[in-house]
Each structure stands twice: as C-alpha cells, then as structure tokens.
C-alpha cells in the first residue's frame, strides 16, 4: 500500500519494544500509518 492509501490508517502494536513488534511498528510508520505502541518493557518504548 502507498502512503496515500494509509493516510487514515491507525494501528496499535503490542510488544513493540523489540523483535517482531518493533519491526511491525516501524514498517507501519514508514508506510504512513499512525502507530501507537505498547510494551511491558518501558525502556524500549522510549523512542
């Protein structure tokens, strides 16, 4: 999908401090999605 198609797309990614969750959140953001992240690891959420 291109950024124009994703302009109104929102995602909540859990486990986003590392690993697959981090990469999924990064890819969605790079593709123009609005991304909210959460993880039990508070240090990993700070970016």
Which string of DSSP letters, residue by residue, matches 1-47? --TTTTTT-EEEEESTTSHHHHHHHHHHHHTT-EEEEE-S-HHHH--
Is 45 inside any structural domain? no
pLDDT at 1 over 90: no
Is 18 inside any structural domain? yes
Q: Over the stretch 26-45, which tens digit does the pLDDT of each residue have?
A: 999 999 999 999 999 877 66
Is 2 inside any structural domain? no
Task: For residues 3-23, give the mean pLDDT.
Answer: 88
Q: The domain containing residue 25 runs over which residues?
A: 9-39
pLDDT at 12 over 80: yes
Q: Mean of the per-residue pLDDT values for the chain? A: 86
The span from the first CA to the last CA of the chain, in angstroms, equals: 25
Note the pLDDT of residue 14. 95
Q: Report the domain count for the chain.
A: 1
pTM equals 0.74
Is 3 inside any structural domain? no
């Amino acid at each position: 999908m291109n950024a124009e198609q994703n302009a109104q797309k929102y995602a909540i990614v859990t486990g986003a401090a590392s690993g697959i969750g981090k990469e999924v959140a990064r890819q969605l953001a790079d593709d123009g999605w609005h991304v909210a992240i959460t993880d039990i690891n508070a240090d990993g959420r700070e970016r």
